[in-house]
Structure 1
Amino acid sequence: MPSSRLAVWHTAFNLGAKTIPPFAGAATALIIALAARRRVGSRGNSSKTWLFVAAAMQIVHVPFTLLAIAPTNAKLIAMRAAKNLDMDKVGMENLNLLLNKWCGLHNVRIATATTAFLMVVTSLLS
């Protein structure tokens, strides 16, 4: 069971590593462009501020990923490369702990991206 979780994680990781960075970069550039084009006074400074804060929340994903998530990714990739499917109980527990840790850290990224999106929508509608 844990080895199948690792296989699913690895597939999702590879897909995400290829698709998310360009998408996040484009989204951040779009948010900054929206903020830069927003005229002061047209809808208030708070709208423009929300857009810049949303862009900052997107940018924070890079150091967060490098500092908090990359070490966990490296351990999971090493376990996958070892193809140690007959893990002992300690190995399985370690794998489950790493996968659960990764899920929690990834949820932080999801929460900040969702919050940034909602800030952009709120800013555009205000």
Structure 2
Amino acid sequence: MKSPDKHNKIIRAATKVFAKKGFFNARISDIAKEAKVADGTIYLYFNNKFDILISVFEQEIGKLIDQVKTLIDQEENPQKMLEIFINRHLAEMKKNKNLAEVIQIELRQTNKIIRDYRNNNFSEYVNIISTIIKKGQE
């Protein structure tokens, strides 16, 4: 039976391993070791390493989207909305340096893979910025 705690533990471990070694140099066994689970356990939750990377983006960016939306929905001024967005993003990246590194490096290096995947949360994240900018232009 799948455990949400174990899933999150694997995501956190993968984020740390990807930040340290990079996506292409990281191995499933590295992630399993960091998460303190057997290699086979990883495959109960994820199909492959790419699936883990996508899950990192979906889960972590999803949390950030929820936080940002809650704050900017209460604001009318586009400039303040953009400030809120930027401050929330930077605060989250400062709090989770491994995630910041994975986002900055892996979005560039695995750009084609990520682009092909069309990650819904990542697209929504970019759409928030676009919406704020459009409001500011009106």
TM beyond 0.5: no
Q: Which structure exhibits the higher relative contact order, with contacts defined as CA atoms closer than 8 Å and separated by 6 or more residues?
A: 1
Which structure carries more helix by proportion? 1
Q: TM-score, normalised by structure 2?
A: 0.28
